[in-house]
Amino acid sequence: MEMVQSKVKDPKAITGRTVLIWLLGFFGVIFAANAVFIYLALGTFPGVVVESSYEAGQVYNEEIAAAKAQAELNWKVTSEFVRSGEAGGRLVVTAMDDKGVPLYGLSINALLRNPVHETADVAAVLNADGGGRYIANLENVPEGNWTLIVEIEKGGERKFRSENRIFLKN
């Protein structure tokens, strides 16, 4: 009895052509994904952070000097936001000098900055209420996380600046 050998190919056999197709397909997908990421990265970031590094450095140095001058004053400044109504409230800032004496004649500006939507920011000019208290009534301040920036000027010169994260509830 003779054995007849069949020339039928095994469908599961790995050939050189199969390996080449898989390698080209794999690297093709990688290159395509990288091309998409590069396109998106270049389209969303122009590469320019500041127009003039020198001017940005000067502003930074001025901020350092202002922070040192603020620390030397040793003022005690507190702020509080009290809800009144559904979306409104009253911002109260109290300013005392290093001996606990109320500060008068200040110009206080506040900004509630929304960390998500720039258009939702709420700016306020606070009015003196006596005893070192300055008050502003605010409307349309929804609940959530906010950054409260308080700037105090006296005689046209900035004397104090603070930036604090706050969470407002209804």
DSSP 87-144: S-EEEEEEEE-TTSPBP-S-EEEEEEE-SS-GGG-EEEEEEEEETTEEEEEE----SE
pTM of this prediction? Answer: 0.67
Which fold would CATH assign to domain 75-168? Immunoglobulin-like (2.60.40)
Cβ distance 88 to 138 under 8 Å?
yes
The reported pLDDT for the residue numbered 4 is: 61
The reported pLDDT for the residue numbered 106 is: 95
Neighbours of 151 (CB within 10 A): 15
| Residue ranges in the chain modelled with pLDDT below 50 | none
The reported pLDDT for the residue numbered 36 is: 96
The reported pLDDT for the residue numbered 142 is: 86
Q: Which among 92, 105, 99 is positioned nearest to 150, based on CA atoms?
A: 92
User: Which letter does DSSP use for residue 118 in this model?
Assistant: G
The reported pLDDT for the residue numbered 58 is: 93
The reported pLDDT for the residue numbered 8 is: 72
The reported pLDDT for the residue numbered 12 is: 79
